[in-house]
Structures are given as structure tokens and as C-alpha cells.
Amino acid sequence: MIPSKGDVFVGTAVEVKPFGTFIEHPGGAHGLLHGAEVEIGTQVSVRVIDVDAERERFSLAKA
């Protein structure tokens, strides 16, 4: 399940890359928190800032 733009949720950091951290939505999808390094397993409150439904991707910002 992909969240909608503007949704706020608490997700879990699952993968860290040089450009940001992937956060897992409670529904199982992963979104990118740009420019943030969050330790894997950390719970993070985030807001969905953009959704690409066609590619099943979404961008996040800290809430």
C-alpha cells in the first residue's frame, strides 16, 4: 500500500544510502527520506511530500 501525499506516519528505517534513508510504511511500502542518515531499526515520524504511483515510490520529510 502506498500512502497519499500529505499523510503522516511513524515508519522504521530499513536501508541507508548516501542520498538518504528508506523508511518502511506500516503497510509495507518503502519511501525515501532524502538527505537523512537514520540508524536502521529507528522509528521515525515522517510526512509524505510526493508520490509516484506509477513507479510505486514516495518521498518523505521529517514530520
Residue range(s) defining the domain that contains residue 54 = 8-62
Whether 31 contacts 59, CB under 8 Å: yes
Domain-embedded: residue 2: no
pLDDT in tens, 5-63: 999 999 999 999 999 999 999 989 999 999 988 999 999 999 999 999 888 889 999 99
How many domains, the chain? 1
| CATH number of the CATH domain containing 30 | 2.40.50.140
Alpha carbons 10 and 44: distance in angstroms, whole number? 5
Residue-level pLDDT at 1: 80
Domain-embedded: residue 26: yes
pLDDT over 90 (residue 3): yes
Alpha carbons 47 and 33: distance in angstroms, whole number? 9
Domain-embedded: residue 1: no
| Grid-cell match 510505486, residue found | 56
